[in-house]
Amino acid sequence: MTASTDDSTGTTDAAGITGLGVVLGSTDSDALIAWYRAALEPLGAHWAEHLLVIGPGAIIGFDERDDVADQAAEPGRQLINLTVRDIRAAERHLNALGVTWVRPVEEVGGGWYFSTIVDPVGNYLQILQGPGAP
């Protein structure tokens, strides 16, 4: 099945897409995996063989690489966004881990809450809560 675009609206029929994932390259993938598991499993993610399942059709994978720096050069270039049911519970859990907040949890209007933390190699992870179910 191929996606088609409705030229009048610019929308795409993406019925063939069933998931979305990100792969994080690191010089020490074991340490990065341990951090992400500690940060996200208590929020509902689960480990499955070699990746972290975040939700239906959504994963974070990890790759040990020798062609990346120890720290992200431009952490804002790509942002990992996670929507949670209770951002204040997530905030308490992440604070207990001693994470670094780039942007503390704040209400941004319309029932949305937004925050950003940094992982051990400098990638930005945004934690969001919306007015409805994730």
Extents of the domains making up the chain: 19-67+76-129
Q: Average pLDDT of each block of 10 consecutive residues along the chain (134 residues)?
A: 53 75 94 97 94 94 94 90 95 97 96 96 96 68
Confidence at residue 12, expressed as pLDDT on a 0 to 100 scale: 60
Question: CA-to-CA distance for 86 and 69, rounded, in angstroms?
Answer: 34
Supply 28's token pair: 């020490």
Write down the architecture of domain 19-67+76-129 according to CATH: Roll (3.10)
**34 vs 30: CA distance, rounded Å:** 6
pTM: 0.84
Q: Taking the chain, what is the end-to-end CA distance rounded to the nearest angstrom?
A: 27
Report the 10 Å Cβ neighbour count for 24: 21
